[in-house]
């Protein structure tokens, strides 16, 4: 009898266990499985949207001028990993490339490849030449950049990450030969022709991200994936912040993003109005204005200006630097110059226009030595700033006095013919002869 009761008890326990198991699978695990499936579907859909956006423009559009640079960038703290393809307009036997980040940091070049094979790779610190086995129009690169904590335009801190002059780009050619870049502790030792960028950026989801041509952004798990498409610009700057005060203003058709830099708003708009009226329209949809911890006063990039944080302590300095950097959007950005071999050209012209807009008095004479010096020829930073910024500004002031109202007609002619190209100083002189004859 006792055995029979034990068997009944065991049977009842088995039935209870089976019922509980059924309840678990039917009523508890199913919603969780549905949540997991929904989350998985959500992530797949988000990734699919970004993939479609990132691959939507594989062919060059009619209005694009230069090569296309397609890059997948992953940022984790101070480590930046990049997988990049460069698509050229025409197939070539060899390609010369610039590695601009070498001016501030060293990078690890992990992979260089091409679909139809490579013959040879010749690498200097700042220049890279790749010979192909046969003509082709695409090269693949993979590399890593380790950022330092410092007051620089390519750096990081606990609050920000600045990625500027960091992507490998095709070399500039003059008279059929590449121009080579080199390291310099002052000036702008960078050269860019016009490029077109398709960028996919993966970062910590807590970061705010600003760069030219943002078209979509999604948070997937702990990551934020942002996609950009920017056409007919030179470099591709990216600004990342954990905390920043951002104001967005509309100026005509331009969206201006002030990142901790709203105090510069009036000066930005004055410079935009001046340049648009006297040189030519700003052809882009956005402009980023960034207050940044820098050793220098400011720095220009495509669709972006950095203003040193110290400038905001003095309104006159802030006005002059803001004018200068905004005007660089015309002479550097829209109209390129050779900043290594003719550093006086864009800096002197932009500085003169900024001084003019500031109603600053310009006096004295210029030293013609400035026309012969490349960036590497300057013996000191003081000599560089004296000749490239001030003496060169005096030269353009003298030219303006000689030409009168034709001076701005000259700039408008250069804008119309030189937009999205590089104008060298000898070409500039040829333009002046259209107004001054042979003088």
CB contact at 8 A, 200 and 217: no
Q: What residues form DSSP beta bridges with 292?
A: 308
Kindly list the domain boundaries of the chain, sorted by start residue.
Answer: 54-242, 335-436
Alpha carbons 423 and 415: distance in angstroms, whole number: 10
Q: Give the orientation angle of helix 343-357 with respect to helix 265-278, to 10 degrees.
A: 110
CB contact at 8 A, 347 and 321: no
CB contact at 8 A, 53 and 93: no
pLDDT for the residue 174: 96
CB contact at 8 A, 347 and 192: no
**To which H or E segment does residue 305 belong?**
strand 304-308
DSSP string, 45-73: HHHHHHHHHHHTT-SPPTT--S-EEEEEE
User: At the topology level of CATH, where does 335-436 sit?
Assistant: Neutral Protease; domain 2 (1.10.390)
pTM of the model: 0.87
CB contact at 8 A, 298 and 305: yes
The two tokens of residue 185 are: 């502790």
The two tokens of residue 249 are: 């203003």
Q: How far is CA 172 from CA 190, 373, 421, in A?
A: 10, 20, 10
Residues 255-272: tens digit of each pLDDT: 999 999 999 999 999 999
Alpha carbons 177 and 429: distance in angstroms, whole number: 22
pLDDT for the residue 10: 54
Say if residue 167 is exposed, middle or buried (CB neighbours under 10 Å; 0-12, 13-18, 19+).
Answer: buried
At a CB cut-off of 8 Å and minimum separation 6, what does 391 contact? 344, 348, 366, 367, 370
Alpha carbons 180 and 178: distance in angstroms, whole number: 6
Alpha carbons 58 and 117: distance in angstroms, whole number: 22
Sheet strands (E) in 17-126:
68-76, 79-98, 107-113, 118-123
- Residues of the chain where predicted confidence (pLDDT) is lower than 70: 1-64, 438-439
The two tokens of residue 257 are: 């993003």
Alpha carbons 404 and 391: distance in angstroms, whole number: 20
At a CB cut-off of 8 Å and minimum separation 6, what does 368 contact? none
Alpha carbons 389 and 361: distance in angstroms, whole number: 14
State how beta strands 335-336 and 421-422 pair: parallel
Alpha carbons 152 and 186: distance in angstroms, whole number: 12
The two tokens of residue 211 are: 């760069």
DSSP string, 259-276: ES-GGGHHHHHHHHHHHH
pLDDT for the residue 437: 79
In CATH terms, the superfamily for domain 54-242 is tricorn interacting facor f3 domain (2.60.40.1730)
pLDDT for the residue 28: 41
**The CA-based dihedral angle spanning residues 133, 134, 136, 139, taken in that order and rounded to the nearest 10 degrees:** 0
Closest CA to 49 of 218, 212, 208, 198: 218
CB contact at 8 A, 103 and 161: no
- SS3 state at 98: strand
Q: How far is CA 23 from CA 9, 19, 26, 29, 110, in A?
A: 21, 6, 5, 9, 54
Percent residues over pLDDT 90 in the chain: 83
């Amino acid at each position: 009898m006792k055995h029979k009761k034990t068997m009944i008890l065991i049977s009842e326990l088995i039935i209870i266990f089976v019922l509980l198991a059924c309840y678990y699978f039917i009523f508890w695990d199913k919603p969780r499985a549905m949540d997991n499936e929904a989350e998985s579907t959500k992530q797949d859909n988000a990734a699919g949207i970004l993939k479609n956006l990132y691959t939507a423009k594989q062919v060059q559009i009619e209005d694009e001028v230069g090569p296309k640079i397609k890059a997948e960038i992953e940022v984790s703290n101070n480590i930046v990993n990049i997988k990049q393809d460069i698509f050229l307009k025409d197939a070539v036997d060899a390609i010369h490339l610039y590695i601009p980040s070498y001016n501030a940091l060293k990078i690890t070049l992990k992979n260089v490849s091409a679909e139809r094979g490579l013959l040879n790779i010749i690498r200097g610190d700042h220049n890279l030449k790749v010979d192909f086995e046969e003509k082709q129009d695409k090269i693949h690169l993979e590399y890593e950049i380790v950022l330092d904590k410092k007051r620089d335009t390519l750096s990081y801190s606990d609050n920000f990450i600045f990625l500027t002059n960091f992507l490998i780009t095709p070399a500039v050619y003059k008279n059929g030969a590449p121009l080579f870049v080199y390291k310099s502790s002052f000036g702008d030792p960078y050269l860019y022709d016009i490029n077109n960028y398709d960028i996919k950026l993966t970062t910590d989801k807590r970061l705010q991200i600003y760069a030219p041509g943002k078209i979509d952004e999604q948070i997937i798990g702990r990551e934020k994936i942002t996609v950009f498409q920017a056409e007919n610009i030179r470099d591709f700057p990216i600004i990342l912040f954990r905390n920043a005060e951002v104001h967005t203003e509309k100026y005509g058709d331009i969206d201006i993003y002030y990142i901790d830099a709203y105090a510069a708003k009036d000066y930005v708009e004055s410079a935009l109005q001046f340049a648009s009226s006297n040189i030519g329209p700003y052809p882009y949809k956005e402009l980023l204005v960034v207050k940044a911890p820098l050793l220098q006063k400011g720095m220009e990039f495509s669709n972006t200006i950095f203003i040193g944080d110290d400038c905001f302590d003095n309104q006159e300095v802030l006005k002059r630097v803001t004018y200068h950097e905004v005007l660089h959007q015309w002479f550097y950005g829209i109209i390129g110059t050779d900043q290594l071999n003719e550093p006086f050209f864009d800096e002197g012209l932009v500085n003169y226009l900024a001084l003019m807009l500031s109603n600053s008095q310009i006096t004295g004479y210029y030293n013609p030595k400035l026309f012969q010096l490349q960036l590497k020829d300057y013996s000191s930073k003081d000599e560089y700033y004296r000749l490239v910024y001030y003496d060169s500004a005096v030269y353009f002031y003298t030219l303006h006095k000689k030409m009168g109202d034709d001076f701005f007609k000259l700039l408008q002619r250069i804008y119309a013919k030189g937009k999205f190209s590089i104008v060298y100083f000898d070409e500039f002189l040829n333009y002046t002869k259209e107004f001054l004859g042979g003088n």
